A = this chain, B = another copy of it.
């Protein structure tokens, strides 16, 4: 079964970057979609899927509003993170209290509501730490060097425990570095969106380290398909989701400059210790067990992203 047609799906973090891209796909697939997010004052946030999805608001951290959102749901996508890797080491207790304790409350609420299917967005870029084997397979030791990664591992372990003991069907996607539309442009959510935004606004680009750090960038449409397929999986599993190919920051910047025809000042800053130096993922397991393949190369994904960003800047045709 490779479709969620007719399935009642709750997307936690539906207004976020991965959430919006997933919902686009879920709706086209015929799923009945419900979202759960923090209350927002942004009408753009509220109207993104107006009339097409049921929108619930509440507080993931203390669980307020979750029971109502879970009522009669078949499958939950947990795409919420209250932290980003670069900021998490400054407040690990906050990270634990929000993301880990929040997820434990979610699991309890799911159990109470009789919901036993979950897909969780883990992090292929942080759970392994500095890998000893490239591309990194799922069986690699988990030695994160950010609180963000430690908490993701703890959540994965609790999901595994519930899968072993309580019949939860849990699929964990260790997603590498996704990029594409709806990514928050300013902040730590992704270098490609940040670089593109700065290029388009002629702002200087800052790079931590010498730009040789290698990451596995994956276009968000490919991630959305992986999430959909993981939701269809009939058993529990843990899967790397990436392009399988590594690119340095300098390569990424070169591709974006070429595709936009733009240039800007680049400032190289000292390397940050909590940044992994080189990683890209072995994606054979997702290929074999989920029947998933990434469609977009980095060049193709960036081209598509640039095109969508430019279109978004054009004045609306009235």
Contacts and interface: CB of A to CB of B under 8 A. Distances in A.
Interface in A152-204: 153-154, 157-158, 160-161, 164-165
A199 to B, nearest CB: 32
Interface residues of A, number: 32
A68 B259 CA distance: 60
Interface stretch (A47-55, A95-103, A280-288, A304-312): A95-103
A103 to B, nearest CB: 10
Closest 3 CB pairs of A and B: A154-B154, A150-B157, A165-B273
Given A139-B141, A153-B153, A274-B165, A158 B92 contact: yes
A161 B150 contact: yes
A160 B147 contact: no
Interface string A75-111: 0000000000000010011001100110011001000
A303 interface: no
B92 A96 contact: no
B141 A157 contact: no
Given A143-B160, A164-B273, A105 B89 contact: no
A101 B96 CA distance: 7
A214 interface: no
A161 B144 contact: yes
Protomer copies: 2
Contact of A153 (B146, B147, B149, B157): B157
Nearest to A107: B92
Nearest to A272: B165
A150 B143 contact: no
Contacts of A147: 158, 161
A165 B89 contact: yes
A142 interface: yes
Contacts of A149: 157
Nearest to A140: B141
A213 interface: no
Contacts of A93: 101, 104-105, 108
